[in-house]
Structure 1
Amino acid sequence: MTISVVLVDDDEIDRYITRRIVQAGVEDSRFAEYEAGDAFLEAIADPVTRERDIGVPPPPVLILLDINMPRMTGFDVLESMKEHLERDESLRTGFKVMMFSSSENAKDRETAFSYDFVKDYIVKPLTKQKLQALVKRHYS
C-alpha cells in the first residue's frame, strides 16, 4: 500500500531524522515536508501542489504535525484543517493526523484529541519501532 507521509515541523534536524526513518521504514511511501503550518495549509488548499506532494486522488495520508512552531502552532493548523476537511470530502476520508511533538504535557494531548480527525499523539523522537507500530495500528 502506498502511503503519503507529510511532515510539518520547523526543526530541520527533526525533519531530516524523521524523513530518514520514514524512508527506511515504509517501503512504498511518498514524503513531503513543510517547515511551517501555513505552508502546509497552502499546499493542501492548492490542487496542483497537493497532487505533486500528496497525490490525487490522495492515497492514505499520514500527517505528522508538530505543536510548537513559529507563526502558527500545530493547534492553529488543526483549527484551519477543520475548515478544509469540512469543505473537501477527499481530505476527510484519506487524511490521518498524528500530533508529533516533544511535549508530554497532558493538556497538549487533550487539546490534540479534541479534534476528531487527530488519530494519535507521538512524542519525539520518531523511531523505527514507533513508526512501524503507527503504520500497523492505523493502516492494517
Structure 2
Amino acid sequence: MDSFITEYLGKTAEILLTSSRFNLWNFERSVDEDLPERSINYVCDDHGFSMTCDSDERIHAIFLTSDSFHPDFFDIPFASSRSKVLSIFGEPSRSGRAHHDPILGEYGAWDRYDWVRYSMHIEYQPHADTIRRITLMRVDVVP
C-alpha cells in the first residue's frame, strides 16, 4: 500500500507544508517540551490531518481521521469495514480488540501492517464497523 502521503515520512515538515497539495491548509503548530524527547505537532482540523515530528522537524507519524479527511488523498475509504481492510491487505502484523480505558474512553479494534519503509495502524470505530483513524509511521518509531 503506497500513497503519496507516505513519501513525506522522514522528510521535514516544511516540505509537506509548502507542497502544492497542502500549502493552502491551515496548520496549527505546537511543541511538547515536557516529554522525554521534544515533539513538534502540526494539526489541520479542517481536513482531519495531523503529523508529529521529531526535534529536527522530520515527520515520524501522520494521522488521518475519518471525521473530515479528504478521501481523494488516500486509497482506503473510511467507510470500509474491518473485513474489507483484511481482504485488501491480508493478515495484519499485529491486531488488538476493542476496549474501554477508564480515563481515555472507548477504543475500537485495530490492525497494524508493517512494511519495509513504514507501518500503517488502522483503528476502527468503537461501536461501528468503519475506520476511525489511520496512522502512518516511520519504521524506527513504531511502538
TM-score scaled by structure 2? 0.29
TM-score normalised over the length of structure 1: 0.29
Q: When you count strand as a share of all residues, which structure comes out higher?
A: 2
Which entry has the higher C-alpha Rg, 1 or 2? 2
